[in-house]
Structure formats: structure tokens, C-alpha cells
Structure 1
Amino acid sequence: MQKWIFFVLFILAGALGLGVLFQDISDRQVAKEAEAAAGKSQQLKIAASNWQFDSADYTVKSGEPTKVSLSLKEGVHAIEIQGLDIKLDKENPSKQVTFDKPGTYEIICVLPCGEGHAKMKSKLVVS
């Protein structure tokens, strides 16, 4: 009698273990697919240092998903892309967006960062 109970418990434990193993593999595949899809989207990386951005202008294609990210190389900054309702700062350094309207937009620092703050501007060209 005990042999049958142990046999049934052994079979159940094996089935449970296989279920967990296959679920983990499935979760990994979903994560890889999501990562690959995110890798296909374009990226807009904006680096801010004291009173300047790393580029005078940036270009992205309209209609494509884009990850916009802000990195702080020097000082503390927050940016706004005027006319697009995109604001990034230390607490929210990136945002996934799709630029629908082609045009030229101004990128400005919206956190007073010192004597050159007023000149801290750049352009975003959406083509």
C-alpha cells in the first residue's frame, strides 16, 4: 500500500516539476520576443551635461516606435520636447513614444541648472 502511495506522489512531483520547467522556458521565450521587438524600435538618446546637449540636433523617423532616453553626464537636468508633451528627468529617464507629426521641435532644459541654463537648447527633427 505504501509503495503505491509513494509511487503516485513521485509521479505527481515529477509532473509538477516538468510543468514548472516548461512554464519557465515559456516565460523566457516571451521575454526574449519582447526584447527583440523593443530592439527593432528606433532610439533617441539625449545626453545632457553642464549647459549643453551632446548634439545640436537629433533626427527620428515619424510613425515608428521610439524609445527616448535622457542620460545625465554632468549636472542635474530635466528636458522637455516642446509641442510633443515629452518630459524626462532623473526620476523618469526614458519614455516609449511614436512620433506621428513630422516637423522640427525644440528640446530645452526645464530645470534651472546654472549660468548657461537659458542657452541649453537643441532641435529634434521628425521626418
Structure 2
Amino acid sequence: MVDTKRISDADLSSAGDDFHILWTIKKSLELLNFDKQGLKALTIEGFETNLSKKLDPTGEMFLGIDLTEYFGGKNFATADSILISQLKYSTRRAGENFTFSKLYEGKKSKSFHGSIVHRLANVFKNF
């Protein structure tokens, strides 16, 4: 029998935060480029402040954004392309594969509301 350690919820949250920070640090190294179409700016937990306030004054529509990457420009208006990511990391379910169908699982049983796909669809819709 395998002895499994129980991690407190605070530690689980901290592990997720650490993952987000490490992922962003890794991505920020891509800012060191001379490519005209390369990565020019990053925003953590949302996107550029001025546009965010105009499109989403409540701050609720863009909860699905963990990292925004701007390629070829430093903001929404000047970028050639924008990559929006929602990052997932779990210490509680480390041995469990994250399947495609889990992208559609909502907060409540048999609902897609609050799912990763639902959140990212709202981001796209609001842009």
C-alpha cells in the first residue's frame, strides 16, 4: 500500500500560485528577442488595464485569463496576435490525467458553467 501525504488546502493553492509564477518567468525570457513578430509584452491574471476597465468594469468577465501574451506589439491595438492562457496545476490529483472532457466540466454536476471552455469562450465573446 502506498503511503499518501495529505496537503492542506493553503499549500495546494500556493503550489498553483508557484506554478503560475514559474510559468510566467519562463515565458518572460521569450521577451528577450529581436524578432518583429516575437513576444513583446505579458500580462498576468488578465490583460492590459485600460482595455480591461472599458470592457469589464466589474472584473468578472475575464476570470479565465491567467496569462496574456502579446506578439508583435505591446498591447491589444498594436499586437499582431494575442495568446490567452488558463493554466492548470494540481498537487491533489498529481496521478490523474487531465482529459479533454474535463475542459467542459463546470462547477456544478452536468453543467458547463464555470468550465475552462466556458470561461475562455466568455473571454473571446467579450473581446
Choose 1 or 2 for highest CA Rg. Answer: 1
The alignment's TM-score, normalised by the length of structure 1, stands at: 0.25
More relative contact order, 1 or 2 (CA 8 Å, 6+ apart): 1
